[in-house]
Structure 1
Amino acid sequence: MAWAGRVQTAALLGCVLWLAAPVLLRSDFRLAYVTEHSLYTCKCVQGMAPCGVINSSQCECKDHPFSVLRRPDGSGILWAATEQLTVWYTSPLNVALLLNNSEVRHLSLVKCNSVAGKAASYDYFTVQRLERLTVSYPSWRPGQSHDITLGRDDGPAYQEKEARMAIIATAVLTGKSSLKAYTVQTKVDGKGMFPFPYLSASKVTLPEASSMYVTFLY
């Protein structure tokens, strides 16, 4: 009888785990929504149509104060070591402030209005460990999108390196008919300075490496 009870318990536990498996294995869709006056970060159970309605039954969102966009240490507020992030935005300036010095591997930028927006007060922002960038402007230029895999021009050696950084021109956020990229291997000194004029990064977030791959997107 005890043996039969254990069998029944094991079978019941297996059934519960089987039913729960789709929930446990389900990956989150991570979304940031950035406007001129608001900033939300969300975790959703599935992807959504670009610039659509954020369903509260499928997404858990946080409303952030705007003060987080100007952090004294220059570090990102997004999830640490984020694998994939989608950003819907109407303010290119605030997106650049939000993403600067963040760490995202696959980044999708979606412009949700049909105006160019304010030009940023600086020419570029940096994203660490970026491997793929997708940019689209569905409300402005329907059907036009850019999809770039970083480091493809540098061969297999790039994929083996953990230290990498993307330098993204802010003009990409306001709308471009074409998107170009090139990758170089370089060194960064202890102050976060690159061997390029007027180019630097926050030393707080830089990886400890004698050299790193830098990809320029413009």
Structure 2
Amino acid sequence: MILCIQMSLAVLCCILWLASPALLRSEFKLAYVTERNVYMCTCAQDPGFCEKMNSSECSSCRDLSSAQQSSVQKKHLTVWYTSPLNAALLLNNSEIRHLSLVQCKPADDQPVPFEYFTVRRLETLTVTYPIWKPGLSFEVTIGKDRDAAYQEEARIAVIHTSVLTGKTELKSYTVQTKVDRSGMMSFPDVFMSRTALSEMSRIFVTFLY
């Protein structure tokens, strides 16, 4: 009887040991944005830079191309894109804590018809151009120049669309400004919904260009 119990415990420990990597592994959130389609996928692991997605790695993909797009809300999100315009449209007014942008082909000469897009509560931004600028990567900690605390909910990143089309240098600066009751700031072209600000009247604004 004791031998059976010991064997059962040994088998149970072995199963838990084998299963623990899967239990500890976090899901990888990936958006794939082209000129015609926008896919939002959940993958078991990072598929790599601009590689063909393996169905066993990314078992859950939704095509958002024809759907009414709402604001994206993710803690971590990687965006592979071949269309800077559609990537900017997907990300504008989103809420993402850690964002990684990966350009999967050189940008064409078609200009993006607006200068910036905004991401709320952004903490880190990583930008990579693996196809046409291999080895060039930028990583920015948002608000580091002003010691803005990560738990500070009232923050917004204003990202110039040139970041999506290719940069040889990425710069940023952060200011703290007031927001009026309508959601307007000291910058007339930047608006933020009051619902995202809770009851706070001040906000950190980081410009990336």
Question: Could you say whether these structures have the same fold, taking a TM-score greater than 0.5 normalized by the shorter chain as the test?
Answer: yes
Separation in structure 1 between the aligned mates of residue 117 and residue 102 of structure 2, nearest angstrom: 17
Separation in structure 2 between the aligned mates of residue 20 and residue 148 of structure 1, nearest angstrom: 35
Residue equivalent to 1:30: 29
Cα deviation 1:137-178 (Å, max 9, x = unaligned): 2222222222111111112x5335232111111111111221
Separation in structure 2 between the aligned mates of residue 199 and residue 189 of structure 1, nearest angstrom: 12
Cα deviation 1:36-92 (Å, max 9, x = unaligned): 101111111221221111010111232324244x64xxx41x3x3x22211000111
Separation in structure 1 between the aligned mates of residue 198 and residue 88 of structure 2, nearest angstrom: 21
Name the aligned partner's letter for residue 92 of structure 1: P
Name the aligned partner's letter for residue 33 of structure 2: V
Residue equivalent to 1:115: 107
Q: CA deviation at 1:10?
A: 5.1
**What count of residue pairs does the alignment treat as equivalent?**
209
Alignment check: 8 A CA contact 1:92 1:119 kept? no
Alignment check: 8 A CA contact 2:119 2:157 kept? yes
Alignment check: 8 A CA contact 1:30 1:86 kept? yes
Question: Could you list the runs of 5+ residues in structure 2 that have no partner in the other structure?
Answer: none
Residue equivalent to 2:157: 166
Gap change, CA 1:110 and 1:165, over 3 Å in 2: same
Cα deviation 1:113-157 (Å, max 9, x = unaligned): 1233532222211111111111122222222222111111112x5
Identify the match of residue 187 of structure 1 among 175, 178, 187: 178
Q: Percent identity?
A: 53
TM score, norm. by length of structure 1? 0.84
Separation in structure 2 between the aligned mates of residue 143 and residue 105 of structure 1, nearest angstrom: 24
Residue equivalent to 1:18: 17
Q: CA deviation at 1:191?
A: 2.5
Alignment check: 8 A CA contact 1:101 1:202 kept? no
Separation in structure 2 between the aligned mates of residue 22 and residue 53 of structure 1, nearest angstrom: 24
TM score, norm. by length of structure 2? 0.87
Residue equivalent to 2:190: 199
Question: Could you list the runs of 5+ residues in structure 1 that have no partner in the other structure?
Answer: none
Q: CA deviation at 1:194?
A: 1.3
Separation in structure 1 between the aligned mates of residue 27 and residue 64 of structure 2, nearest angstrom: 24
**RMSD of aligned Cα (Å):** 2.3
Alignment check: 8 A CA contact 1:116 1:175 kept? no
Gap change, CA 1:198 and 1:115, over 3 Å in 2: closer
Residue 209 of structure 2 is aligned to residue 209 of structure 1: no
What secondary structure sits across from 1:93 in the alignment?
Answer: helix
